[in-house]
Amino acid sequence: MTGDDFARLAWLIILGSAVAGWLVVESRGRMGQMARQALAWLLIFVGLAAAYGLWQDFAPSGQRAAVAQQGETQIVARRAPDDHFYLTLDVAGTPVRFMVDTGASTIVLGDRDADRLGIDRRSLAYVGQARTANGTIRTARVTLRGVSLEGTPLGDLPAWVGDGPLDVSLLGMEFLNRFARVEMTRDRLVLTP
């Protein structure tokens, strides 16, 4: 804890103590009623926080991340509730959901997706390296066969599997550079083949 953090914490404790003291003095003889009202407000606050947190799960489908073919020339992805763009590639008949990551250079498979595609991660030759937010990891090159996006065939694509845990598969700049035009606005990602 830094000195600034300690000062903020001390200030909040002093302020909270002053408010609590004032409430105790003002509610002499009515402590039960005050406790019930405080509990009611606490439950209202917790209920509103829970409703806000669950809103994304119950949002209408128009607000969820979606991919749509626009005519025959563009692929449009809407921004997901977590502020990322996602695309689902069909890899030899298996749908794999990827997060578009402009900070990544290549296509990187997450652990679960590599397993779903039948890649034996223990038998791979981890000869490469990648720098991630969590440090440097060893990587192994694989080939994704028969890849398509929204019915558009992309052929075989090189990808990497890391020896460390990765929850989500990533589509990096190497993938985006396959398109003639890439547009990213506040709420849409538009890929033009």
What pTM did the predictor assign?
A: 0.61
**Least confidently predicted of 31-35, 109-113, 166-170, 174-178:** 31-35
Mark residue 4 as left, alpha or beta (left: phi above 0; alpha: psi -120 to 50; beta: remaining).
alpha
Q: In this predicted model, what pLDDT tens digit does every residue of 122-165 receive, in sequence order?
A: 888 888 887 776 677 788 999 999 998 888 888 999 999 988 77
65 confidence band (pLDDT: 50, 70, 90)? very low
